[in-house]
Amino acid sequence: MPPRRVITGRSQEPRKRFVQELSALRAQKGDSLRKLGEVLGWDWSLFGKMESGETLGGPEVVQALDQYYGTPGLLLTLWELAAGDLTQFRERYRRYMILEAEAVSLWHYGVSVLPGLLQTEGYARELLAAGGASGGELTRQVKARIGRRELLDGDGAPRFRAIVSETVLRTPLRDAQCWQEQLEHLAAMAERPNFTLHVLPTASGLHGLVSTDVMFLRMPDGRTVAYTENAHQGQLVEEAAPVEGLQLAYDFVRDLAMPPVESRKFVMRMLEEAPWDPST
């Protein structure tokens, strides 16, 4: 059978197709981004980020766009396909991505870097570049990582508890402005009702997760899976016994960490001490 002929000439990749349809519909309407923001009540920069592929936006804004453009359900359907498209992630992460999207709560411990769900674009770009990504591949990986943050938005967002080593917050980015933005984002996240932040002081000493980043996902059926990671590889752990062992280590680390109020104060102190960028 010959391959299906592409009629529209637009991308068959869900995320790219969503972006293309957004741009095409606004062009047909003849609106500027600012006009769109004024009419729909969102900051116009959000629509610019959606059309550049930097973010998918949330379902509420997509439904509003569907209503405005007179395309009931079209954009929302494309948004759902784009949000569920795992081809943007490396193969070894795809099973984890599926589980992460279904989780009802998440617990994380970070020994060396902030978890992807808390990273700003500047932080993600410098970190991924340090790992060897460059050019178009770097841009794609950054967009994919930033897109994951939408998991924590909206009424149905899962609860998320993160414990970060003090070392993470004392390891700045090379770009002073990007580092300030990352700390500001972390402080803002710490005020959200569905997010709890703990900082683990370096004086806490050795513990069972001293060299391991770990994320626990509580699934709708009540089971918990874990994902461990270091600089070179990650491993999904689904067997009950090893998951329980990791949870016991996590509980011990949480007992050593600062409480949420003190942790946010620590982040604010780091922000005050951050190098000042005179260009900002």
pLDDT digits (tens, 9 = 90+) for 78-118: 888 876 665 655 555 667 877 888 899 999 999 889 999 99
- pTM value is 0.66
Q: What is the pLDDT of residue 189?
A: 95
Which residues, in sequence order, are CB contacts of 218 under 8 Å at separation 6+?
Answer: 103, 104, 105, 106, 107, 224
Distance (Å, whole) CA 57 – CA 38: 17
Give the pLDDT band (50/70/90) at residue 4: very low
Segment 118-142 shows an average pLDDT of: 88
Question: Considering the chain, what is the average pLDDT of its residues?
Answer: 86
Q: Residue 224 half-sphere exposure, CB side, CA atoms within 13 Å?
A: 18
Residue 54 Cα to chain centre, angstroms: 12
Distance (Å, whole) CA 168 – CA 111: 7
Residue 277: pLDDT above 60? Answer: no
Residue 124: pLDDT above 80? Answer: yes
